[in-house]
Amino acid sequence: MGIVKISDELHEYLRRASTVMSRSINAQAEFWIKIGMQAEMNPDKTFTMLVSEMLEKNLSAGRRTA
């Protein structure tokens, strides 16, 4: 695990969003990074489509390990 330096303003956005979404600040940052990466690689897909695909992949991985 590494340390990523971000602006105080972005950290405040993360803190607020993590509270609303019931995530830790680190989990919120990780979610935003993953969504951002997927959005850049799939510019034709909506946010909802990206989240649905991430959820399906996560559920499929859980079925394989269960």
25 Cβ neighbours under 8 A, 6+ residues apart: 11, 14, 15, 18
- Residue extents of the structural domains in the chain: 8-65
The confidence score (pLDDT) of residue 58 equals 87
Instruction: Convert the pLDDT of each residue in 10-64 to its tens digit.
Output: 999 999 999 999 999 999 999 999 999 999 999 999 999 999 999 999 898 887 6
| Listed residue (26, 23, 18, 32) closest to 40, CA to CA | 32
The confidence score (pLDDT) of residue 65 equals 60
